[in-house]
Amino acid sequence: MTEYDVLRAFFSKLGLEGEAADMYASLRDHGPQSISELARSSGVPRMQIYRLLDTLKAAGIIEVELGYKRSILHATPLSNLQVLIAEKEQGLKDLEFEYKQLVARLSDHPAQSAPTKVRFYEGMDGLKQMLWDQTNAQGENLAILYDNMQNKTNITFFERWVRKCNERNLYFRGIICDHFVQTQQQWYGEHSNERLINWQPRYISEHDFPLTHSVVTYDDVVLYYDWNDERIFGIEVKNINIARMQRQFFELLWRQSTSVDDLTGSRSPHPKSNDSSEIR
């Protein structure tokens, strides 16, 4: 890539047209020029030079010296481009601030800004899509789990999913049952692979609350997974009110569940005394 190509590419990133870079390069290479001279040396038509001149003057890239019967154009030092960069940075900060205000205002009217969406997924490819969508969560994942996903998906997908969750520093709380514990212990008795960093489980007995499938809640989404031998399917419901109610239900069940010491060894979990303290 030549110096001219680098200059043109940089001007483009600043939001300036390629002809602006042609004008600036010609003035740097050939010195101050009139508009007619610049049109010949740069190859930019006179009318286009007139159109771009005000923008380049305002950006501090070109200066105009008023002479007798004609104006002379000068290229300013490259250091002047730092002013444009600073303006871009400030513009991004202003845009980020306005974005936060927009989110805050629209969140006051969730029913208008977030209509209900329901999707049905079938087969392992469909469930993998649901699982992968979880990695885009902005908040905590709350899961009521009957079975381990790694027992249904292949190990390559499972490790990629775990790695993505850890890279995004996602937080998970899970309520688990005897079946989940058994399949978890069986899996880690045979495999050694990456695990979720931010994963906090609690145990509930089949007697207190029998689980038959898995439910995951994140953001304004509720996922229902059913991994039985006859049919594999999942349902995704995107509705902020349903997600809020499911989150409240999870918290009630969380308070009734108990902490566990170990989920990957050969021992069964030893529930501690019921802990009804505030959840972290």
Looking at the 3D structure of the chain, how many domains does it have?
2
Which residues of the chain are under the pLDDT cut of 50? 111, 262-280
- Give me the CATH number covering residue 173: 3.30.870.10
Shared domain check, 20 and 130: no
Shared domain check, 171 and 40: no
Report the distance separating Cα 10 and Cα 88, nearest Å: 13
Q: What is the per-residue pLDDT for 277?
A: 32
Task: Give per-residue pLDDT as tens, 199-229.
Answer: 999 999 988 898 888 999 999 999 998 876 6
Task: Return phi, psi of residue 67, to 5°.
Answer: -115, -175
Shared domain check, 128 and 253: yes
Q: Is residue 44 part of a domain?
A: yes
Shared domain check, 182 and 252: yes
- Give me the CATH number covering residue 52: 1.10.10.10
Shared domain check, 124 and 230: yes
Shared domain check, 250 and 137: yes
Q: Is residue 42 part of a domain?
A: yes
Closest to 181 (Cα-Cα) out of 267, 80, 93, 59: 267
Residue 250: count other Cβ atoms within 10 Å of its Cβ: 20
Report the distance separating Cα 82 and Cα 65, nearest Å: 23
Shared domain check, 132 and 252: yes
Q: What is the per-residue pLDDT for 275?
A: 39
Helix (H), strand (E) at residue 98: helix 81-106
Q: What is the per-residue pLDDT for 236?
A: 93
Shared domain check, 230 and 147: yes
Q: What is the per-residue pLDDT for 107?
A: 61
Report the distance separating Cα 217 and Cα 137, nearest Å: 10
Q: What is the per-residue pLDDT for 80?
A: 82
Q: What is the per-residue pLDDT for 84?
A: 79
Q: Is residue 86 part of a domain?
A: no
Q: What is the per-residue pLDDT for 268?
A: 41
Helix (H), strand (E) at residue 104: helix 81-106
Q: Is residue 157 part of a domain?
A: yes
Q: What is the per-residue pLDDT for 108?
A: 56
Report the distance separating Cα 150 and Cα 133, nearest Å: 16
Residue 29 domain boundaries = 3-81
Q: Is residue 126 part of a domain?
A: yes
45, 39 Cβ separation under 8 angstroms: yes
